[in-house]
């Protein structure tokens, strides 16, 4: 780990100006991802700006739903009564992630910004385009170890089956974000050029030719909070995470689902999948198909088949082509209590 | 002590100390003026260092030295090259390490290429990051599966070659089976990281705090390496935060730290990092096995052939007893075994809990289940039809064997009668339910050991032995043994261990310590007791005229059994004889009668699993493990041993695998986030059953070992249960969801 400077800020304005001032400056929230990356020398910051003292740790009701501050801890959000009552999917997804100790430190903003767990990204002696982009431009000067994609033709059991590129097949590892994309969250950010709101689905991006960019946050921008619109899914929500051990493992595939059901007819539904793409993967085609249909296993299977269109395996992860639709069906059955 | 009575469950004597932070592990020791070192590892698996830039590191704050193959202080005991090149490739004798930092050649990924020393751990870590190497790479062979045909018999060994009857007698059987099984690389991954603190207290006197399973072994290794008298080397390892086998030898980096400490003239501490735990302290070797088995329609085994091929390093042959249990576990007229190693560009393996037997049991006990299925027989019934009361390998009796009873008691406890013979026929909601079982066995050893007993006139007793407690509760078991002999109340017994200043003991391993060190404690205490009896019985003594065998000893008092009231307090007896202490040291070992018997511990594991056919997820929902370990000396810590072994077994069965990208020869999951040991949520309540019948031969306590059999066979029980639940047979561990989905 390199020596670095450390400052603590108490206002968003100070945070933004601190990060804009000097290159190589990073926000430090819970530190559960950033510190690991520093130890492995994947990220070598010159300066850390501790944002844990910002007044952004609150969870409050708004006219349209719920507002969750960016520095609220994962465990605080998961245990919050309003969240549990109105957005149980979010609570379940959070509790499916990491371990209790990590959730006690991890924040909402940090969770959204966490990097992929691709082993080639973490080992600076192995090729990775995300860590060592080949293109000049946005992240110029960031090369750190060899470029290329180690996962293509390598160990890619955990990797993407949707939306990958020839440059990168990594997945976004978050559980929380699967719930947030399903629940139509919006993200409020503040930066040197002012404030803006980003629909959650547009927050993360596909790798394309710029795998070094995980998301659409601009330089100097700070995540302030996430807004959740009120919904009718609380009674029929489920987050199903399939993993290699019962706890403390990233998803092979996960599915977040929320439904509004009346007389066994699906009025409205939200479906998203994790562990399958470079971003939280919303299953809109499957949602469209299910709307207005009865909640039956046959329909779930058809929806799952629609969701899988365009999926592609890379060898070790071919099993996800079977696991993903099965998990969709399983999650739908559990959420609709038709299991 | 009489082996006829069961021992009461007592709390771990050091439990409170451990949970309150009082127990000191090697890295907890702080010495004034200590320097810290960090190892820089190779990023390639085979080749030569072309350039090594240490300038920046040398100039970094607090740096006291950067040691590489160019300036490593010599290790006197290593000066004469043993065969081949100084640093290593074959031929090297077994147990000889590669010579760390002695040449630019790279033999495995992570091989130390520099050791950076600084005045703090953080500064050493930073400076280590500034060391930059360039390499001339060669193609590394790291994938055992691609090189099985390169398997050779280990140097100087028969390669597990064994046969009785017809080597391929299985072929003549009406029902035959051939199956291949894989056990991947597993890494011990104890919580505590490996390392050493070395302090030269004089020109040729040395104090070492190490993470070793045997202080005497470390003392001996350092004496040889530095050509000094072992008496001048003091090694201390009282506690270990888990060993599982990785501390069964002295590793080259430990020797290097001792050499550098001498050079810089300061105490020097090394604590490796987690990823280095995958390359510098051994692992369970990747092993592929083939079992051929034949049986007749009545369920009698006709023949078994068991062949194993395991990886080792290019520079050292590591071997283990992978095929051994096949030779003696079942009555079978035609048995052959073969063991081969393939020398790869990998770091050398070492025994990992259950060692080779756990690997072998996965194959043999899976195959037994496969054969039972072919014969349409209950797997327990199949084993009973091939049960043997005598050892068919050596044609002699077992010292004790209660395996039949173990089958029966375990079957009752798990509810074996709920198991359906037909796989895939029990469903609970979305989940398929299955039952599986397997047998485990491991040598019951009694190695040489010594111990000292000091009984004071105030009635307190101190027991001493150099043995290290790697976690099973050695001190607790020794307390119980001393208590049983001398009747001293348990809270007046103090056990001192883990230090070379104490009587010599073997390395903690091989499930042998209760038997070995326990016997020495028994003998030392018996010697104390005999002296007391002599004093009591001698002319003019308080119990004069009675016979030694009429006396009992309890609660600090010697009494005559059939004369109530006729007794003498031990403290009075000692005072009357002006004795402040009775001090006895005993060397202890098994007698010649041992050669007449085969001595083994046995276990039976039963599991119930739930398998989700849609997701391929397997959950162990119930586990019952039964141990035939002779007399159980300390029931509570023995049960803990068993529970720990089963938790390890769940990891072996379902989650553990260190994965290498063979294009680079490097691990891709060398951390505790990605290398999955079983976590609490994976481990159900485990029922442990102790047969608890004394072995009349092995030692005076009648106690056989426990540590290995707790794990041996468990993975097969899970695989067998998964088969019973789903009809899918997974022969490559671990049984992860993708394997079950792929099989659909
Ligand atoms: C062993 C392990 C297992 C894990 N398992 C899981 C799992 O199963 N599921 C899962 O979802 N997650 C898992 N995690 C990841 C964990 O959820 C993340 O590490 C955590 O959410 C990151 O939050 P943090 O506050 O600690 O972020 P930090 O590490 O502090 O920061 C991460 C990044 O976010 C940036 N950042 C933080 N806050 C803001 C903000 N407000 N605005 C802009 N940028 C910001 C930082 O600059 C940094 O680049 C695991 C982590 C570990 C170490």
Among protein residues, the one whose CA lies closest to atom 3 of ligand 1? A98
Cβ atoms B624, B689 nearer than 8 A: yes
Q: Could you give the angle at the alpha carbon of B707 between the alpha carbons of B190 and B678, nearest 5°?
A: 40
Query: What's the length of chain A?
Result: 339
Q: What is the pLDDT of residue A138?
A: 47
Contact residues on chain B for A323, CB-CB shorter than 8 A:
615-616, 737-738, 741
Asked whether residue B453 falls in the same domain as residue B441, the answer is: no
pLDDT over threshold 60, residue B91 = no
State the Cα–Cα distance between residues B234 and B249, nearest whole angstrom: 17
Query: What CATH topology corresponds to A5-52?
Result: 3.30.43
Residues B414 and B483 in one domain: no
CA distances from B624 to B363, B607, B689 (A): 21, 6, 7
Ligand 1-lining residues (CB < 6 angstroms): A 26-34, 36, 51, 70, 97-98, 102, 105-107, 109-111, 113-114, 173-176, 222-223, 250; B 673
Whether the CB-CB separation of B194 and B274 falls below 8 Å is answered with no
DSSP annotation string for A60-87: EE-SSEEEEETTSBHHHHHH-HHHHHH-
If asked whether residues B489 and B581 sit together in one domain, one would say yes
Q: If pLDDT is split at 50, 70 and 90, which confidence band does A23 have?
A: confident
* Domain boundary residue, one of B556, B589, B622: B589
Given A154, A245, A323, which is nearest B661 (Cβ)? A154
Are B615 and A150 a contacting pair at CB < 8 A?
A: no
Q: Which of A300, A323, A324, A329 to mutate to test the interface with B (most CBs of B within 10 A)?
A: A323
The sign of the CA dihedral B125, B127, B132, B137 is: negative
Nearest to B200 by CA among B121, B124, B118, B263: B263
A175 alpha carbon – ligand 1 mean position (Å): 11
Q: How confident is the model at residue B156 (pLDDT cuts 50, 70, 90)?
A: confident
Structure tokens at B734: 């671990």
Tell which of A100, A101, A119 to mutate to test the B interface (max B CBs under 10 Å): A119
Q: Do B230 and B350 lie in a common domain? A: no
If you take atom 50 of ligand 1, which residue's CA is the nearest one?
Answer: A98
Q: Please indicate if any CB of chain B lies within 8 Å of the CB of A150.
A: yes
Cβ distance B673 to A248 less than 8 Å, yes or no, reads: yes
Ligand 1 centre from A211 Cα, in Å?
19
CA B346 to chain centroid, in Å, comes to: 22
**B353, B482: one domain:** no
Q: Please identify, by atom number, the ligand 1 atom nearest to the C-alpha of residue A71.
A: 41
pLDDT tens for B665-687 read 999 999 999 999 999 999 999 99
pLDDT at res. B98 = 83
- In the predicted structure, residue B82 carries a pLDDT above the cut 50: no
Task: Look at residue A264 and give its three-state secondary structure.
Answer: coil
Does some domain include residue B150? no
Q: Residue B2's pLDDT is what?
A: 54
Residues B255 and B404 in one domain: no
Q: What is the mean pLDDT of chain A?
A: 96
Check which CATH number belongs to the domain holding B329 and give it: 3.30.365.10
Does any CB of chain B come closer than 8 Å to the CB of residue A327? yes
Q: How far apart are CA B145 and CA A280, in angstroms?
A: 37
**Nearest neighbour of B679 by CB, restricted to A157, A247, A319:** A247
Binary contact (B680, A247; C-beta < 8 A): yes
Residue B510 and residue B452 share a domain: yes
Q: Which residue of A has its CA nearest to B650?
A: A245
Interface contact flag, B737 A252, Cβ < 8 Å: yes
Nearest-CA residue of chain B relative to A117?
B674
Same domain, B387 and B438: yes
Same domain, B264 and B115: yes
Q: Give me the percent of chain A exceeding a pLDDT of 70.
A: 97
Tokens (6 digits) for B691: 């047969």
Q: Are B203 and B299 in contact (CB under 8 A)?
A: no
Range of the domain at B683: 287-445+595-739
> Which residue of chain B is at minimal alpha-carbon distance from A329?
B614
- Best of B123, B612, B673 to substitute, by most chain A Cβ atoms within 10 angstroms, is B673
Second-level CATH architecture of A234-335: 2-Layer Sandwich (3.30)
Distance CA A336, CA A339 (A): 8
Mention every residue, 6+ apart, whose C-beta is less than 8 A from residue A317: A156, A157, A158, A159, A160, A161
The number of C-alpha atoms within 13 Å of B202 and in the hemisphere containing its C-beta is: 7
Q: In what order do the strands lie in the sheet with A251-262?
A: A237-243, A251-262, A265-274, A281-282
B253 vs B188: CA distance, rounded Å: 18
Provide the pLDDT for residue B4: 75
Residue whose C-alpha is closest to residue B49's, from B116, B134, B174, B154:
B134
User: What pLDDT is attached to residue A135?
Assistant: 62
User: A245 C-alpha vs ligand 1 centroid, how far in Å?
Assistant: 20
Give the total number of structural domains in chain B. Answer: 3
The per-residue pLDDT for B96 is 64
Domain borders along chain A are 5-52, 234-335
Contact A319 B738 (CB under 8 A): yes
* Residue B526 placed within a domain: yes
Return d(Cα B218, Cα A318) in angstroms, integer: 48
How far is it, in rounded angstroms, from Cα B729 to Cα B719? 7
**Average pLDDT of the residues in B595-612:** 97
Calculate mean pLDDT across residues A138-145: 62
Q: In angstroms, what separates the C-alpha of A2 from chain B's closest C-alpha?
A: 6
Average pLDDT, integer, range A199-203: 98
What is the nearest CA distance from A137 to chain B, expressed in angstroms? Answer: 27
What per-residue confidence (pLDDT) applies to B743? 53
Provide the annotated active-site residues of B: 708
Q: Please say which residue of B589, B620, B646 terminates a domain.
A: B589
Residue B3 pLDDT level (bands cut at 50, 70, 90): low
- Closest CA of chain B from A323, distance in Å: 6
- Mutation pick from B140, B656, B662, B737 vs chain A, by most beta carbons of A within 10 Å, is B737
Contact A322 B741 (CB under 8 A): yes
A297: contact with B, CB 8 A cutoff: no
Nearest CA to ligand 1 atom 32: A110
CA of A47 to the centre of ligand 1 (A): 18
Cα of B639 to ligand 1 centre, how many Å? 39
The angle formed by the CA atoms of residues B102, B105 and B109, to the nearest 5 degrees, is: 105
Inter-chain CB proximity A247 and B614 less than 8 Å: no
d(CA B254, CA B438): 39
Q: Are B348 and B282 in contact (CB under 8 A)?
A: yes
Nearest to B305 by CA among B183, B147, B180: B180
pLDDT band at A140 (very low <50, low <70, confident <90, very high): very low
Same domain, yes or no, for B255 and B387? no
Interface contact flag, B126 A125, Cβ < 8 Å: no
Shortest distance between the Cα of A61 and any Cα of chain B, in A, equals 34
Whether residue B429 sits in one domain with residue B316: yes
Rounded to the nearest angstrom, the gap between the alpha carbon of residue B306 and the centroid of all alpha carbons in its chain is 23
Contacting residues for B170 by C-beta, under 8 A, at least 6 apart: B176, B292, B293, B294, B302, B303, B304, B305, B334
Q: Give a three-class secondary structure readout of B5-31.
A: CCCCCCCCCCHHHHHCCCCCCHHHCCC
Summary mean pLDDT of chain B: 95
Q: Are residues B58 and B202 in the same domain?
A: yes
Q: Whose CA is nearest to atom 26 of ligand 1?
A: A30
Say if CB A168 and CB A275 are below 8 A apart. no
- Whole-angstrom distance, CA of residue A238 vs CA of residue B436: 32
Closest chain A residue by Cα to residue B121: A1
Question: Residue A11, Cβ neighbours under 10 Å: how many?
Answer: 11
CATH number of the domain bearing residue B251: 3.90.1170.50
Is there a contact between B668 and A123 if contact means CB atoms under 8 Å apart?
yes
Residue B182 in domain: no
Look at residue B252 in the predicted model and tell me its pLDDT: 95
Which chain A residue lies closest to B736 (C-alpha atoms)? A244
Lowest mean pLDDT among B139-148, B259-268, B328-337, B464-473: B464-473
Q: Tell me: the pLDDT tens digits for A304-313? A: 999 999 999 9
DSSP state of B152: B
- As a whole-number percent, the residues of chain A with pLDDT over 90 amount to 94
């Amino acid at each position: 780990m390199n020596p670095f400077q450390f400052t603590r800020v108490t206002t968003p304005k100070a945070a933004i100006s601190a990060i804009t001032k000097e290159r190589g400056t990073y926000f430090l929230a819970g530190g559960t991802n950033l510190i690991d990356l520093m130890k492995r020398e994947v990220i070598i910051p010159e300066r850390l700006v501790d944002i844990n003292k910002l007044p952004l740790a609150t969870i409050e009701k708004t006219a349209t739903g719920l507002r969750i501050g960016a520095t609220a801890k994962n465990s605080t959000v998961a245990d919050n009564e309003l969240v549990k009552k109105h957005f149980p999917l979010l609570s379940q997804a959070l509790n499916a992630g990491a371990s209790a100790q990590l959730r006690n430190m991890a924040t909402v903003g940090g969770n959204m910004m966490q990097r992929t767990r691709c082993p080639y990204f973490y080992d600076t002696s192995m090729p990775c385009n995300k860590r060592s982009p080949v293109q000049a431009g946005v992240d110029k000067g960031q090369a750190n170890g060899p470029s290329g994609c180690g996962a293509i033709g390598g160990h890619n059991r955990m990797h993407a089956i949707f939306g990958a590129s020839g440059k990168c097949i990594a997945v976004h590892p978050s559980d929380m974000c699967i719930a947030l994309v399903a629940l139509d969250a919006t993200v409020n950010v503040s930066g040197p050029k002012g404030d803006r709101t980003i629909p959650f689905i547009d927050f993360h991006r596909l790798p394309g030719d710029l795998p070094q960019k995980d998301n659409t946050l601009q330089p100097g921008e700070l995540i302030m909070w996430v807004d959740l619109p009120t919904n009718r899914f609380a009674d029929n929500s489920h987050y199903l995470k399939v993993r290699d051990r019962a706890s403390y493992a990233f998803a092979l595939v996960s599915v977040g689902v929320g439904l509004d059901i009346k007389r066994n007819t699906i009025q409205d539904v939200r479906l998203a999948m994790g562990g399958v793409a470079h971003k939280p993967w919303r299953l809109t085609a499957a949602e469209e198909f299910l709307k207005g249909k009865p909640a039956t296993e046959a329909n779930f299977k058809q929806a799952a088949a629609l969701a899988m269109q365009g999926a592609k395996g890379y060898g070790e992860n071919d099993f996800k082509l079977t696991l993903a639709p099965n998990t969709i069906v399983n999650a739908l059955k559990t959420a609709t209590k038709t299991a | 002590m009489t082996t006829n009575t069961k021992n009461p469950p007592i709390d771990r004597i050091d439990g409170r100390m451990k949970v309150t932070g009082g127990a000191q592990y090697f890295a907890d020791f702080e010495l004034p003026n200590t320097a810290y070192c960090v190892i820089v590892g190779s990023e390639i698996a085979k080749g030569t260092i072309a350039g090594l830039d240490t300038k920046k590191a040398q100039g970094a704050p607090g740096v006291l030295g950067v040691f590489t193959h160019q300036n490593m202080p010599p290790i006197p005991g290593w000066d004469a090259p043993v065969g081949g090149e100084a640093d290593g490739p074959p031929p090297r004798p077994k147990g000889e390490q590669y010579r760390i930092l002695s040449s630019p050649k790279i033999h495995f990924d992570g091989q130390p290429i520099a050791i950076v020393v600084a005045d703090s751990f953080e500064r050493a870590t930073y400076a280590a990051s500034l060391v930059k190497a360039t390499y001339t790479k060669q193609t590394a062979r790291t994938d055992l599966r691609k090189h099985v045909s390169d398997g050779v018999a280990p140097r100087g060994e028969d390669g597990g070659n064994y046969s009785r009857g017809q080597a391929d007698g299985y072929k003549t059987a009406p029902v035959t089976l051939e199956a291949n099984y894989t056990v991947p690389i597993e890494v011990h991954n104890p919580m505590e990281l490996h390392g050493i603190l070395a302090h030269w207290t004089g020109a040729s006197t040395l104090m070492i705090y190490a993470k070793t399973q045997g202080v005497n072994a470390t003392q001996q290794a350092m004496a040889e390496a530095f050509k000094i008298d072992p008496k001048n080397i003091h090694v201390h390892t009282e506690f270990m935060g888990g060993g599982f086998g990785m501390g069964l030898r002295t590793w080259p980096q430990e020797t290097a730290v001792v050499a550098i400490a001498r050079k810089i003239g300061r105490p020097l501490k090394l604590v490796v990092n987690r990823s280095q735990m995958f390359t510098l302290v051994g692992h369970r070797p990747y092993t592929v096995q083939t079992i051929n088995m034949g049986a007749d329609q009545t369920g009698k085994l006709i023949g078994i052939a068991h062949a194993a091929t395991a990886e080792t390093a290019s520079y050292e042959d590591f071997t283990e007893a992978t095929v051994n249990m096949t030779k003696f576990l079942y009555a079978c007229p035609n048995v052959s075994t073969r063991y081969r190693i393939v020398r790869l560009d990998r770091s050398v393996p070492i025994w990992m809990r259950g060692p080779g037997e756990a690997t072998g049991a996965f194959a043999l006990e899976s195959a037994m289940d496969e054969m039972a299925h072919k014969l349409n027989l209950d797997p327990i019934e199949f084993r009973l039809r091939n049960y043997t009361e005598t050892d068919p390998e050596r044609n002699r009796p077992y010292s004790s064997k209660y395996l039949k009873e173990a089958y029966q008691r375990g079957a009752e406890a798990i509810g074996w009668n709920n198991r359906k013979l037909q796989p895939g026929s029990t469903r609970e909601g979305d989940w398929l339910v299955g039952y599986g079982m397997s047998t485990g066995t491991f040598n019951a050893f009694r190695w040489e050991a010594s111990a000292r007993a000091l009984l004071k006139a105030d009635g307190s007793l101190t027991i001493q032995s150099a043995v290290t407690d790697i976690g099973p509760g050695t001190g607790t078991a020794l307390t119980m043994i001393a208590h049983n002999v001398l009747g001293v109340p348990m809270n007046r017994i103090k056990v001192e261990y883990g230090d070379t200043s104490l009587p010599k003991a073997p390395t903690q391993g091989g499930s042998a310590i209760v038997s070995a060190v326990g016997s020495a404690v028994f003998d030392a205490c018996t010697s104390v007791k005999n002296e007391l009896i002599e004093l009591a019985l001698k002319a003019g003594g308080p119990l004069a005229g009675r016979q030694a065998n009429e006396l009992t000893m309890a609660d600090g008092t010697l009494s005559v059994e059939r004369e109530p009231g006729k007794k003498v307090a031990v403290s009075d007896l000692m005072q009357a004889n002006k004795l402040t202490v009775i001090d006895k040291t005993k060397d202890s070992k098994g007698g010649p009668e041992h050669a007449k018997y085969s001595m083994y511990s046995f276990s039976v594991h039963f599991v119930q699993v739930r398998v989700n056919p849609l997701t391929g997820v397997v959950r162990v929902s119930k586990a019952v493990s039964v141990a035939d370990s002779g007399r159980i000396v300390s029931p509570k810590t023995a049960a803990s041993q068993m529970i720990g072994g089963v938790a390890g077994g769940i990891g072996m069965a379902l989650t553990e695998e260190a994965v290498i990208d063979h294009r680079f020869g490097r691990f891709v999951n060398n951390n505790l986030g990605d290398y999955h040991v079983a976590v609490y949520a994976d481990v159900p309540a485990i029922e442990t059953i102790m047969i608890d019948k004394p072995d009349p031969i092995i030692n005076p306590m009648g106690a056989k070992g426990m540590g290995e059999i707790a794990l041996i066979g468990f993975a097969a029980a899970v695989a067998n249960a998964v088969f019973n639940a789903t009809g899918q047979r997974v022969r490559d561990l671990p049984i992860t969801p993708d394997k079950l989905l792929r099989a659909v």
